[in-house]
Amino acid sequence: MNSGREVILCKYGEIVLKGNNRKNFESMLIKELRRRASPHGTFKIYTNQSTIYVEPQDEFADIDGMYESAKKVFGIISVNRAIPCEKNMESIIETAKAYLPEKLFGKRTFKVDARRSDKRFPLTSPEISAALGGVILGAVKGIKVDVRHPEVTVTVEIRETKAYIRAGQESGAGGLPLRSAGRGLLLLSGGIDSPVAGCMMAKRGLEIEALHFESFPYTSERALEKVLTLAEEMCQFCSKIHVHIISLTKVQEALRDNCEEDYFTLLLRMFMMKLSERCALEYKCGALITGESLGQVASQTLSAIAVTDSAVNIPVLRPCIGLDKSEIVEQARHFGTFETSILPFEDCCTVFTPRHPKTQPKLEDVMAELAKVNFEELLEDAYATMRTETKLIFESYR
Ligand code: ATP
Ligand code: MG
């Protein structure tokens, strides 16, 4: 047993875990935590009473690394480092005296929150709080009780087999377990918005598959490297992403040579959507995901969105649609993709950009322009250029 060694307690939201879903969700969370534990050493990971226990099994287990990783598991609402002890007041007090002074060092105020999931415990919650509060006041110099706005809350949980003491708590990644909602195909560019869109949908339970369009030699190898780096960074939250890469070089040259310049972007987007739909079908993705935000650029007006939507028969999820750029940036920092996103590389959307892009396009005009090229053949040839790279949170992740 590992009394005396810190453990991690992960809590998940209750509301979504009703009925049959609950067992499924729990096993998904446990599976994900077990996979993530492997580079950090040996941990025992199991669930009991709506809490997932992550217990290091020897002194080599890297609890700091595991803790950071657990904070990025979708479906977990809070992660807590706690110290287990026997379920009696004597042991709780001794353990608190040894464990808390370091955790509370430099703090000015605290309160104790006692929770009994084992109602047979002889003391009530207020009695436990009062006893432990006194112990802390004696053991931590200069600290005071503030029950309304404490700087830190010390929690004692009397659980099924043991008691657990912790100081403070941190938010988890929230959302729903990865893969619990199916799979989505993210149209991944090198910009700020699409990596955020992918992470936002992963947070709602989608496994993320990505598709990137390049236009070599108009776009460079380094532009592609940047996109692959973004996918790798997203893996901190998304764990594993296959990035499919399709070349649009021939498509763009055909558009340049045959169509009216004002329509270039829209026409290119028609190709992108159609190719994405096909890729989604092949890789069993139930939706496309883009980083579009209403009105951000000419191709993201309502009429432009209506035109691109008409190209496909699959739901297109646009989680950034109602966000301001500053809000998207905030999310990009949160998901850890911002710094890479702002590296200055070209995107296929930025080669052959029209000087006066259509902002209020009509579908029939777009279709008339599209009729000037051999749509089906170009589509077929472009799809044949597809190759795939796999990015993982760490090498041994399966
Ligand atoms: P982002 O910051 O995500 O690049 P953006 O504001 O630059 O978005 P656009 O360039 O108009 O907007 O692209 C809109 C969306 O189309 C992107 O969010 C992305 O989902 C998709 N997209 C754009 N370029 C590519 C590309 N080269 N490969 C794959 N998807 C792309
Ligand atoms: Mg872009």
3-state secondary structure the chain: CCCCCCEEEEEECCHHHCHHHHHHHHHHHHHHHHHHHHHHCCEEEEEECCEEEEEECCCCCCHHHHHHHHCCCCCEEEEEEEEEECCCHHHHHHHHHHHHHHHHCCCCEEEEEEEECCCCCCCCHHHHHHHHHHHHHHHCCCCEECCCCCCEEEEEEECCCCEEEEECCEECCCCCCCCCCEEEEEECCCCCHHHHHHHHHHHCCEEEEEEEEECCCCCCHHHHHHHHHHHHHHHHHHCEEEEEEEECHHHHHHHHHHCCHHHHHHHHHHHHHHHHHHHHHHCCCCEEECCCCCCCCHHHCHHHHHHHHCCCCCCEECCCCCCCHHHHHHHHHHHCCHHHHCCCCCCHHHCCCCCCCCCCCCHHHHHHHHCCCCHHHHHHHHHHCCEEEEEECCCCCC
Specify which residues 163 forms β-bridges with.
85, 158
Q: Is 196 in the pocket of ligand 1 (CB under 6 A)?
A: no
Dist. CA 215 → ligand 1 center (Å): 14
Handedness of CA 84, 90, 94, 100 (dihedral sign): positive
- Which ligand neighbours the alpha carbon of 196 most closely? 1
Instruction: Return the pLDDT at 305.
Output: 92
Instruction: Return the pLDDT at 358.
Output: 86
Instruction: Return the pLDDT at 350.
Output: 78
The ligand 1 atom at the shortest distance from the C-alpha of residue 348 is 27
- Protein residue closest via CA to atom 17 of ligand 1: 291
pTM: 0.94
Instruction: Name the residue of 187, 188, 189, 299 whose CB sits within 8 Å of the most ligand 1 atoms, as the mutation to test its pocket.
Output: 189
Omega before 122 within 30 of 0, i.e. cis: no
Instruction: Return the pLDDT at 2.
Output: 38
Instruction: Return the pLDDT at 15.
Output: 60
At residue 370's C-alpha, the angle toward residues 361 and 194, to 5°, is 65
- Protein residue closest via CA to atom 25 of ligand 1: 189
The ligand 1 atom at the shortest distance from the C-alpha of residue 291 is 18
Q: Is 262 in the pocket of ligand 1 (CB under 6 A)?
A: no
Contacts of 91-96 with CB under 8 Å at 24 or more apart are 91/163, 92/128, 92/132, 92/156, 92/163, 92/165, 93/131, 93/132, 93/135, 95/163, 95/165, 96/132, 96/135, 96/136, 96/139, 96/154, 96/156, 96/165
Q: What is the pLDDT along the chain (398 residues), one digit of tens a residue?
A: 335 799 999 999 766 667 778 888 999 999 999 999 999 999 999 998 889 999 999 999 999 999 999 999 999 999 999 999 999 999 999 999 999 999 999 999 999 999 998 889 999 999 999 999 999 999 999 999 999 999 999 999 999 899 999 999 899 999 999 999 999 999 999 999 999 999 999 999 999 999 999 999 999 999 999 999 999 999 999 999 999 999 999 999 999 999 999 999 999 999 999 999 999 999 999 999 999 999 888 778 999 999 999 999 999 999 999 999 999 999 999 999 999 999 988 887 777 888 888 888 899 999 999 999 999 999 999 999 999 999 999 988 87
Q: Is 132 in the pocket of ligand 1 (CB under 6 A)?
A: no
